[in-house]
Amino acid sequence: METSVEKRVKESFARQTVMATIGASITVVEPGEVTIELPFRSDLAQQHGFIHGGVVTMIVDTACGYAALTRMSASAAVLTAEYKINFLSPAEGEKLIARGRVLKPGRALTVCYGDVHAVKDGQEKLVATMLATMMTREETGLKD
């Protein structure tokens, strides 16, 4: 059975048209943790055939943001305040899996970390890692 937090996160994710544009989907929503998957598409690749770093960053930033949102009040919205990403290997394979997790929740700022794995021939390989700070916005007019 879907929880109210899971429903809220999935509804907000559905409003992110950029995620639909790139073909990303949300696959796991748990307290403090969100997973987003992205099938490989050649139109998302850079000149060497790897998924572009901007796309890799986009999915793990989103996973971290929604992980933070799972720990916020029902009236809160989340915005990214900052992040640092390290690219460890080329993003190649059948799909990417971005997992965002809350490291330290807070009233105003929540610190998260995320990893992106490329799946190739059934094996996961770590391709990027992120440390991010998410800002809580208590506004009635701002959607998640």
Whole-number average pLDDT of the chain: 95
Least Cα distance to 55 among 67, 66, 64, 43 occurs for 43
Binned at pLDDT 50, 70 and 90, residue 1 comes out as confident
Q: pTM for the full model?
A: 0.94
Share of the chain above pLDDT 90, in %: 92
Structure tokens, 10: 């999935």
Please write the tens of the pLDDT for every residue from 80-123.
999 999 999 999 999 999 999 999 999 999 999 999 999 999 99
Structure tokens, 73: 């009040």
Residue 11 CB contacts under 8 Å (≥ 6 apart), including other chains: 144
3-state secondary structure the chain: CCCHHHHHHHHHHHCCHHHHHHCCEEEEEECCEEEEEEECCHHHECCCCCECHHHHHHHHHHHHHHHHHCCCCCCEEEEEEEEEEEECCCCCCCEEEEEEEEEECCCCEEEEEEEEEEEECCEEEEEEEEEEEEEEEECCCCCC
List domains and CATH numbers for the chain. 4-138 (3.10.129.10)
